[in-house]
C-alpha cells in the first residue's frame, strides 16, 4: 500500500456511503411498502422479478430469496422478455420491476404488455417521476444521495439499496406467512441447515446385524469381540427380548482393568453402565449431537417405545452425515 493509494481509507469510505444509503431506506417502509406486500401476499401465482444490467443481477438474487423463503418466484431478463420470455407471465402473477432510473429502455418497452395482462406491477426505482414509477401499481423509492463510486457513476449504493428493499419484502412475506425453519430446510435439503433440521436418527443409525448386542451373562472377553467386530466402540447389554439393560464402552475397559476384574471370567452385567442414555429413531440428528456433547458421550443406543434396541450410532456417524 502506498501513500497515494490508502486502500483501507477508500474501502471504509465506500462502506460508510452505503451504510448511509441503507439508513435512508427506513423512510421508505411506508404505505407504499405495505401495499406492495399486500399485492405479493395475495398473489396466487408467481412473483416475477425483472431488471437489466446491475439491476438485473440484483433482481435475480431477490427472486431467489423470495423462492427460498416460501414465495414462488423467478427472474426474467428484461431484454429477453420481449423476445418470448413474456410468455412465462400469467394473469395470476405479480411483477416486481427494478430500474434505478426508471427509464431502462428494455423494461419500458414491455410495460404495455404487462399492463394488458392486468397484473400488479411493483416498481423499485430511484426516480418517483420516471415512466416506470408512474405506470406501476405501487412505487417503492430506492433513491440514494450518491453512489459509493467516487465518480458517482458505477451502481454501488443504489444496487445495495435495491437489494436491501428486496430482502425487506421477502422477509416481511416470510413472517406474514408463518414460514418456519423447517419449511426453509425443505427447500434447502442439500445444505447444512437442511441436514440439521430434517435429518433424523433413523436416517443414519446402524441397524440389524450391525448393532453390537450381548446378553448380561456374556463374559467381558466375548463382549470385547462383539465391540471390535461392530466397530462402534460400545455394545448394548440386552435381555432375552432385546430390551436394553446397560451399555459397555471403550472407556469402560480401562476402568474394568483398573478395578482388577478378570475379563475372562467376569460377566458383562457386573461392569456395564446400567440404565444408559438412549435416543429414539425419530430424534433429530442435530438434537442428538447437542445431547452427546452435553453428556460427553461418543456413542448411543437407539431404542423403540418399549426400550428394545433397534439401532446404534456414534459421533463418527454424525460427522459423516454432515451434522458436525
**Cα–Cα–Cα angle for 273, 274, 277, rounded to 5 degrees:** 85
Has residue 142 got a pLDDT over 50?
yes
Three-state DSSP class for residue 233:
coil
Has residue 51 got a pLDDT over 90?
yes
Has residue 202 got a pLDDT over 60?
yes
Has residue 302 got a pLDDT over 90?
yes
* Cell, residue 58: 440484483
Ranges 136-145, 205-214, 314-323: which has the least confidence:
314-323
Q: Please tell me the distance from the alpha carbon of residue 59 to that of residue 132, in angstroms, as a whole number.
A: 15
Give me the pLDDT at residue 90, please.
87
Give me the pLDDT at residue 157, please.
94
Per-residue pLDDT tens over the stretch 220-275: 999 999 999 999 999 999 999 999 999 999 989 989 998 999 999 999 999 999 99
What residues does CATH 3.40.50.10490 cover in the chain?
A: 7-179
Has residue 44 got a pLDDT over 80?
yes
Mean pLDDT within 91-113: 93
Give me the pLDDT at residue 3, please.
57
Has residue 191 got a pLDDT over 80?
no
> Between these two residues, 312 and 85, which has the higher pLDDT value?
312
User: Under a CB-based contact definition with an 8 Å cutoff, are residues 215 and 238 in contact?
Assistant: yes
Q: What CATH number has the domain spanning 201-320? A: 3.10.580.10
pLDDT category of residue 287 using cuts at 50, 70 and 90: confident
Q: Please tell me the distance from the alpha carbon of residue 319 to that of residue 324, in angstroms, as a whole number.
A: 5
- Structure pTM? 0.65
User: Under a CB-based contact definition with an 8 Å cutoff, are residues 279 and 302 in contact?
Assistant: yes
Q: What is the mean pLDDT of the chain?
A: 89
7-179 fold? Rossmann fold (3.40.50)
Give me the pLDDT at residue 75, please.
94
Give me the pLDDT at residue 187, please.
57
Per-residue pLDDT tens over the stretch 144-188: 999 998 888 889 999 999 999 999 999 999 888 876 656 565 555
What residues does CATH 3.10.580.10 cover in the chain?
A: 201-320
Amino acid at each position: 500500500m502506498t501513500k497515494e493509494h490508502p486502500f483501507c481509507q477508500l474501502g471504509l469510505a465506500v462502506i460508510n456511503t452505503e451504510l448511509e444509503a441503507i439508513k435512508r431506506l427506513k423512510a421508505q417502509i411506508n404505505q407504499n411498502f405495505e401495499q406492495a406486500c399486500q399485492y405479493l401476499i395475495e398473489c396466487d401465482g408467481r412473483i416475477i422479478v425483472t431488471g437489466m444490467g446491475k439491476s438485473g443481477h440484483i433482481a435475480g438474487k431477490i427472486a431467489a430469496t423470495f423462492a427460498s423463503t416460501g414465495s414462488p418466484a423467478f427472474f426474467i431478463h428484461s431484454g429477453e422478455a420481449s423476445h418470448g420470455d413474456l410468455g412465462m407471465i400469467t394473469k395470476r402473477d405479480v411483477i416486481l420491476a427494478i430500474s434505478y432510473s426508471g427509464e431502462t429502455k428494455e423494461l419500458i418497452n414491455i410495460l404495455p404488455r404487462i399492463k394488458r395482462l392486468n397484473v400488479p406491477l411493483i416498481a423499485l426505482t430511484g426516480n418517483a417521476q420516471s415512466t416506470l414509477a408512474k405506470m406501476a401499481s405501487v412505487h417503492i423509492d430506492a433513491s440514494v444521495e450518491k453512489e459509493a463510486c467516487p465518480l458517482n457513476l458505477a451502481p454501488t449504493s443504489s444496487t445495495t439499496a435495491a437489494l436491501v428493499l428486496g430482502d425487506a419484502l421477502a422477509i416481511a412475506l416470510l413472517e406474514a406467512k408463518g414460514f418456519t425453519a423447517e419449511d426453509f430446510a425443505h427447500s434447502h435439503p442439500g445444505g447444512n441447515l437442511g441436514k440439521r433440521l430434517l435429518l433424523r436418527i433413523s436416517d443414519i443409525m446402524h441397524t440389524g446385524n450391525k448393532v453390537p448386542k450381548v446378553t448380561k451373562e456374556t463374559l467381558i472377553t466375548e463382549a470385547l469381540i462383539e465391540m471390535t467386530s461392530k466397530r462402534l466402540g460400545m455394545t448394548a447389554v440386552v435381555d432375552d427380548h432385546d430390551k436394553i439393560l446397560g451399555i459397555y464402552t471403550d472407556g469402560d475397559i480401562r476402568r474394568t482393568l483398573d478395578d482388577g476384574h478378570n475379563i475372562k471370567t467376569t460377566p458383562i452385567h457386573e461392569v456395564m453402565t446400567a440404565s444408559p442414555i438412549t435416543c429414539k429413531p425419530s430424534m433429530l440428528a442435530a438434537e442428538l449431537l447437542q445431547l452427546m456433547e452435553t453428556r460427553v458421550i461418543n456413542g448411543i443406543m437407539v431404542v423403540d417405545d418399549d426400550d428394545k434396541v433397534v439401532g446404534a450410532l456414534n459421533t463418527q456417524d454424525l460427522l459423516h452425515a454432515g451434522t458436525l
